[in-house]
Amino acid sequence: MRPFDSSKVNVEYRDHTNQYKPVLGRKYTMTHSDDTAELFVTIGRKYAMDKIIPMRDEVLLEFREKDGKLQLFGTVLVDGEGVGVGRNAEKRNNIFLREMPIALQAIRYADRTLFECHKELDHVPIYIWFKSDYPEYNQLYDFGTMKDYTKTWK
């Protein structure tokens, strides 16, 4: 895994979302450029579907409430919808697992003002569903909390 480079993070706020609000329902669309290694984090009340390319290598994450507790819940598409068929599903799954810490660091860095204003958000659990038609890859992973993804740039 390559080291996180905060200078490569680009952020865009949409849908009447800003650095301070809202928290509940706040959605992150994280994409990247293989050519430039830039990371793009779009923050809004809706996912930035216009940023999603046919390769489908985005990370979608949102603050939501479950059983009265706040959590960050996300998805990645390992296969289906025309991507990740056969052995490619295994490869995509491994890439998502390997690169997820970078994606979470980028999201945490991009929205650092929100997290600094609401310190409790660094302790909200992160769950990401790796969506797959193959049972061995169709899994929900616990990625800890955002506090785990601040060490390398703070």
pLDDT, tens only, 79-133: 987 776 667 889 999 999 999 999 999 999 999 999 999 999 999 999 999 999 9
Determine the pLDDT at residue 86.
65
Q: Which residues contact 115 (CB under 8 A, 6 or more apart)?
A: 108, 121, 122, 146, 150
Question: What is the pTM (predicted TM-score) of this model?
Answer: 0.92
